[in-house]
Amino acid sequence: MEEMTVQRVVCSRIPTRIGQFQLCLYTNTLDDKEHLALILGDVTEPADVLVRVHSECFTGDVLSSLRCDCGEQLENAMEAIAREGIGVIVYLRQEGRGIGLESKLQAYNLQDQGYDTVDANLALGHPVDPRDYTVAALILKDLGIHSVRLLTNNPEKIRFLEEIGIHVVDRIPSVPTVNSENANYLRTKALRMHHMLNVTGLIPFALDRKHGSD
């Protein structure tokens, strides 16, 4: 089997209200998508770099949808890296936990009928979470990063990166803002997908709605 590779194509300066980053675009031999690395500071020397591996979420990242915590996680990661003065966000183009935007919107409609996020994916014929983090690990290695402090609540992401040779020395939790639109979504993450979230704090919000979100 041919070894998967990534290629750094171009990097550009990206000034934001949070700080000045470098945005690097990568191609790869795994899929036909263009994945990204948002970099602050010189990450080639220090170990245990602060990193978030973030899956694309158009509704959350761009539209600030309240159905999920994705946009908030992205912004919080940028702010945490800016405070640190160094770090990387690997932005993977795997919309809707890897099922694509069309299926994600169809899943939203099922959730409005009473499905949670897991059952909505299954009803549409998709796996619960088909995301792959191989490209993320290869991008980190290309940047010279082999050990990270990972901003995540997802134990599968930690396991996946460790298996591909990225040592996760610490997990930095991402604490979501809970509202009536995302509470069942977050509760499903915790109870059915084993994300490291405080379920007790979600229950009062979740009881306000009888259907899932995002």
The pLDDT tens digits of the residues spanning 168-207 come to 999 999 889 998 899 889 999 999 998 998 767 655 544 4
Give 160-211 as a DSSP string: HHHHTT-EEEEEE--PPPP-TTTHHHHHHHHHHS-----SGGGHHHHTT-SS
97, 131, 149, 187: which is the annotated catalytic residue? 131
Selection from 208, 203, 163, 200 nearest residue 181 by Cα: 208
Selection from 162, 21, 152 nearest residue 77 by Cα: 152
Residue 172: strand pairing partners: 151
Q: Mark whether 131 is an active-site residue.
A: yes
Residue 53's pLDDT band (cuts 50, 70, 90): very high
129, 132, 142, 171: which is the annotated catalytic residue? 129
pTM for this structure? 0.90
CB 21 within 8 A of CB 38: yes
What pLDDT is attached to residue 209?
47
Q: Mark whether 31 is an active-site residue.
A: no
Q: Note the CATH architecture for domain 6-94+131-175.
A: 3-Layer(aba) Sandwich (3.40)
- Across the chain, mean pLDDT equals 91
Distances in Å between the alpha carbon of 122 and those of 22, 118, 211?
38, 6, 16
pLDDT at 92 over 60: yes
